[in-house]
Amino acid sequence: MIDLIWLAIALPLGGVVVLLFFGRRLGEPGAGVLGTLTVAGSFVVAAAASVDFFGGDGEAHVVRLFDWIPALGLDAELLWDPLAAAMTLVVTGVGTLIHLYSISYMAEDERYSRFFTYLNLFVASMLILVLGANFGLLFVGWELVGLSSFLLISFWFTKPSAAAAGKKAFIVNRIGDFGFLIALMIIFATFGTFSYGAVFEEAAGELTAGAATAVALLLFVGAAGKSAQLPLHIWLPDAMEGPTPVSALIHAATMVTAGVYMVARTAALYELSATASGVVATVGIITAFGAATVALGQRDIKRVLAYSTISQLGYMFLGVGVGAYTAGIFHLYTHAFFKALLFLGAGSVIHAMAGEQDMRRMGGLRKHMPWTFGTMVVAWLAISGIPPLSGFWSKDEILAATFERGGAWVVLWAIGIVTALLTALYMARLMYLTFWTKPKWADEVHPHESPLLMVIPLVVLAGASLVAGIINTPWRLGFEHFLEPSFEGIELAHAPAVGTEWVLAIISVLAGLAGLAYATRRYFFRPAPPEESDTWRWVRNGYYVDNVYGDTIVRPGKLGAAWMAFVADQRGVDGLVNGVGWLVRRLGALLRPLQTGFVRSYGAAMMIGTVVLLVWLVSRAGL
Amino acid sequence: MSAGYFMGLAAVLFAIGASGVLLRRNALIMFMSVELMLNAVNLTFVAAGRELGSIDGQVAVLFVMVVAAAEVVVGLAIIVTVFRRRSTASVDDLSELRG
């Protein structure tokens, strides 16, 4: 089965081709069903190929497909190891559920089949990214997910804000990719190959400490762009302009975690540079904290979740930064479930509210949409870190491993605990404003439960969010052992002994409960506060980071572009071209009097010419 | 008598003809000037033939005269027709086909 793992990529890719040419004919819901089936097929392939790993055999398999760029020694080869398997299962599993949900959510959209084309393209690209066995395929997948993300964010491109958001995501990602690309060049210049196996094996011997730090940091620039970490996080909140299933699949569960995956995959390089790992962890925890505070002030239900995603990704980077790679991936895995669930739940709410996204105009929805409400409560408690739901185990694992490193790392742990409190707070705010309190919606809105096809994915994801944590508890580190073969030779940071772990877990649960309690006091028992002070406005606008970038980067850039367009191009280049034309016209005007139109003038000219020629010939002959 | 005089006369005749073609506007006069130029050339042919003791010059002249006769027929016919239709034979006025 492992040799057939390429099928996991080929199926959705085939779906893209079929949908591209026959999508319109397949219509509704045919196109959606086809898209869902191809991704489900990928999931089955991945699951079948993972069976060996569950049995404890974690040996990595490299599946060679064909020569790709012989000049660079680059082959199309896939790496099937526990890390790839875990990522593939998350991508295809959550992907299938979200495809299923979209069949109903996107109903009656004008470009229904095109939506599934893009969604399938995304799944195929993401699988290339996680399955590639060299940096070449990683980069191809990396760019392709960026493309599909762009296409899907600006899916409703007739809305100017959606078109702008798509461009913003693409451009900000380009900045990250710039760093990534330089890292790839250094890697190729040093090792002469892009293959993971060769690079990681020789990394310790070939790379100097400085070069290792440079490569790791440049790779992290790419990861920060893709995973929306400071200071490149600005595109993700705007990406919520896309359809909600897109936000759930790409901008919560899978694509944005590509950066975490990349850091984990290149762990061998980060091992060589304590500086780079420290930067990853620090940026991660600052992002986690900062985004959590911003999430507190958002009014748009999807933007709360977007900042929450940035914050949770920060946790993952904290995990991989402190060397707890398995814990980081574990959080990636649990987060995929509960955050996809939250987004799909939010989509369900928005669907019911006829497109309303402002939480100030919701409220009291729990009676109208019991299934959405029930499943979202599970996700809410999971992200808040309430045991025994999945989020508790993974978040706690990361925080415990951070604490165990001791020294200055304890500060990061403390910030992590505060962030856990904030997480519980903003999620409770979202839940209370949406589902409890008095209804505040407009008269013409009639909330209703979503159709069955949308509820099924919610229920499945709720089940996963509920129990996903038990695969990796401090007593039984199943997931960690599953992943360990992928990190062979790398020192993994572990959670402390069970005694300390208990204390840490109790502290983090208490932080979560404190957040919940405060939110209950503030948002449940009282009418929603207006939150209009300067501080709230400051927080709601994400500390005006967008404006700062606008003033310092975008405006000078636009000025430069305007200068190029209106001065350098229109005056310089066009001037040169027009100048040639002007010169020819002036010369023509000078010569024009010669063309009188009288035959006799021409005759005279011929005559004179002949005489001159004759005189010349004769005089030359010496006569 | 050397051929030089004949050549000189021919050159003078040719110059008069050429000036006529270039300076006059009446098609008929221009036509006559063309004839003058042709005959100037004929004169050089004959003179050169006699000087070189060759019959070729006279042969060429006969050809030129034949062609000139044919040309006169066609040309005069055109000029007469134009004059009848437009009551003028000035070439500057006949500008309908000018670009």
Hey, are the CB atoms on A607 and B23 less than 8 Å from each other? no
**pLDDT for the residue A583:** 95
Contact A523, A429 (CB under 8 A): yes
pLDDT in tens, A139-148: 999 999 999 9
Q: Which residue has better confidence, A91 or A596?
A: A91
The chain A residue lying nearest B23, using CA atoms, is A600
Measured distance CA(A511)–CA(A521) in Å, rounded: 15
Taking the C-alpha atoms of residue A359 and residue A294, their distance in angstroms, rounded to an integer, is 15
B96 in contact with chain A, both atoms CB, cutoff 8 A = no
The shortest CB-CB distance from A600 to any of B22, B98, B99 is to B22
Contact between A270 and A263 under an 8 Å Cβ cutoff? The reply is yes
- CA dist B14 and A607 (Å) reads 11
Question: pLDDT-derived band of residue A473, with 50, 70 and 90 as boundaries?
Answer: confident
Buried b (16+ CB within 10 A) or exposed e, A360-399: eebbebbebbebbbbbbebbbbbbbbbbebbbbbbbbbbb
Q: How far is B22 from chain A (nearest CA, A)?
A: 5
Nearest by CB to A598, which of B18, B21, B92? B92
- Per-residue buried b or exposed e for A165-187, using 16+ beta carbons within 10 Å of the residue's own CB: bbebbbebbebbbebbbbbbebb
At residue A111, the pLDDT reads: 86
Average pLDDT for residues A534-542, to the nearest whole number? 83
Residue A57: the pLDDT is: 66
Residue B63: per-residue pLDDT = 93
Cα B31 from chain centroid? 7
Residue A286: pLDDT band by 50, 70, 90 thresholds?
Answer: very high
Residue A269 CB neighbours (<10 A): 24
The whole-chain average pLDDT of chain A stands at 87
In this predicted structure, what is the pLDDT of residue B98?
58
Following DSSP, what letter does each residue of A450-477 receive, concatenated?
PPHHHHHHHHHHHHHHHHGGGGSBTTB-
Of A22 and B96, more confident: A22
Q: With beta carbons less than 8 A apart as the criterion, state whether A268 and A489 touch.
A: yes
Centroid of chain to Cα A245: 14
Query: Which of A592, A598, A623 is the best substitution to test chain B (most B C-beta atoms within 10 A)?
Result: A598
Instruction: State whether residue A575 is helix, strand or coil.
Output: helix
Separation between Cα atoms, residue A139 and residue A153, nearest integer Å: 21
Quick one: pLDDT at residue A395? 87
**What would the two tokens of residue A194 be?**
């892009």
Please answer yes or no on whether B23 and A600 come within 8 Å at the CB atom. Answer: yes
Q: Does B1 touch chain A (CB under 8 A)?
A: no
- Taking only the tens place, the pLDDT of each residue in A58-85 is 678 888 888 888 888 888 888 888 888 8
Which chain A residue has its CA at the smallest distance from B19's CA? A604
> CA A576 to CA A569: how far, in whole Å?
10
Evaluate whether A105 touches A243 at the Cβ level (below 8 Å): yes
Q: Report the residue of A592, A596, A600 to disrupt the B interface, i.e. the one with the largest count of B CBs within 10 Å.
A: A600
Q: Is residue A528 classed exposed, middle or buried when 0-12, 13-18 and 19+ CB atoms within 10 A define those classes?
A: middle
Beta carbons within 10 angstroms of residue A68's beta carbon: 15
Q: What integer pLDDT is reported at residue B34 of this predicted model?
A: 92
* Contact across the interface for A603 and B22, Cβ inside 8 Å: yes
Per-residue pLDDT, A479: 79
B11 touching chain A per CB within 8 A: no
Instruction: Give the residue on A whose Cα is nearest the Cα of B92.
Output: A598
The Cα A486–Cα A112 span in angstroms is 40
Average pLDDT over residues A337-358: 87
Residue A443 CB neighbours (<10 A): 5
Chain A positions touching B98 (Cβ under 8 A) are 597
Residue A531 phi/psi, 5-degree rounding, is 55, 55
**Residue-level pLDDT at B97:** 65
For an interface test with A, give the residue of B22, B37, B94 to mutate (most A CBs within 10 A): B22
pLDDT surpasses 60 at A553: yes
Confidence of residue A50 (pLDDT cuts 50, 70, 90): confident
Contact A67, A75 (CB under 8 A): yes
**A485-516 tens-digit pLDDT:** 787 777 777 777 777 888 888 888 898 899 88
The mean per-residue pLDDT over the stretch A288-296 comes to 91
- Flag whether pLDDT at B92 surpasses 80: no
The answer to whether residues B36 and B13 touch, using CB atoms and an 8 Å cutoff, is yes
Q: Are A338 and A382 in contact (CB under 8 A)?
A: yes
Asked if B98 is an interface residue toward chain A (Cβ–Cβ < 8 A), one would say yes
Residue A198: C-alpha distances to residues A115, A192, A336, A488 (Å): 39, 10, 31, 14
Provide the shortest C-alpha distance from residue B37 to chain A (in Å). 13
Q: What is the mean pLDDT of residues A591-616?
A: 86
Nearest-CA residue of chain B relative to A601? B22
CA distances from B86 to A228, A365, B74, B98 (A): 90, 100, 18, 17
Residue-level pLDDT at A142: 92
CB-neighbour burial class of residue A498 (10 A; exposed 0-12, middle 13-18, buried 19+): exposed
Q: Quote the minimal CA–CA distance from B29 to chain A in Å.
A: 14
Q: Which residues from A are below 8 Å from B when comparing CB atoms? A: 597-600, 603-604, 607
Note whether A215 and A207 are within 8 A (CB): yes
Q: Minimal Cα–Cα distance from B28 to chain A, Å?
A: 15
CB < 8 Å to B99, chain A? 597
pLDDT over 90, % of chain A: 24
Helix axes A452-467, A325-352, angle to 10 degrees: 150
B10 CB neighbours in chain A (<8 A) are none
Q: How confident is the model at residue A623 (pLDDT cuts 50, 70, 90)?
A: low
A356, A362 contact by CB (below 8 A): yes
ipTM of the complex: 0.72
Give the number of beta-carbon pairs within 8 Å between A and B: 14
Phi, psi (degrees; rounded to nearest 5) at A4: -95, 10
Instruction: Name the residue facing A607 among B22, B95, B99 (closest C-beta).
Output: B22
CB atoms within 10 A of CB A436: 16
What is the rounded distance in angstroms from the CA atom of residue A595 to the CA atom of residue A573? 34
* Cα–Cα distance for residue pair A418/A402, rounded to 1 Å: 14
Q: CB B98 to CB A597 under 8 A?
A: yes
Interchain CB contact of B15 with A (< 8 Å): no
**pTM for the model:** 0.80
Asked if A289 and A419 count as a contact pair (C-beta separation under 8 A), the reply is: yes
CA angle A365, A370, A373 (to 5 degrees): 65
Q: What is the pLDDT of residues A13-47, one digit of tens each?
A: 999 999 889 888 887 788 888 889 999 999 999 88
Confirm if A292 and A307 have CB atoms less than 8 A apart. Answer: yes
Return the higher-pLDDT residue of A259 and A472. A259
Average of per-residue pLDDT across B79-87 = 87
CB contacts, 8 Å: A597 with chain B: 95, 98-99
Closest in A597, A598, A603 to B21, CB measured: A603
Residues of B in contact with A599 (CB under 8 A): 91
What DSSP element (H or E) covers A99?
Answer: helix A82-105
The reply to whether B92 touches chain A by the CB within 8 Å rule is: yes
Alpha-carbon dihedral sign for residues A589, A594, A598, A599: negative
Confidence category of residue A55, pLDDT binned at 50, 70, 90:
low
In angstroms, the CA A224 to CA A235 distance is: 11
Q: Is B94 on the interface with A (CB under 8 A)?
A: no
Q: Given the DSSP bridges, would you call strands A61-69 and A74-80 parallel, antiparallel or unpaired?
A: antiparallel
The rounded distance, in Å, linking the Cα atoms of A565 and A557 is: 12
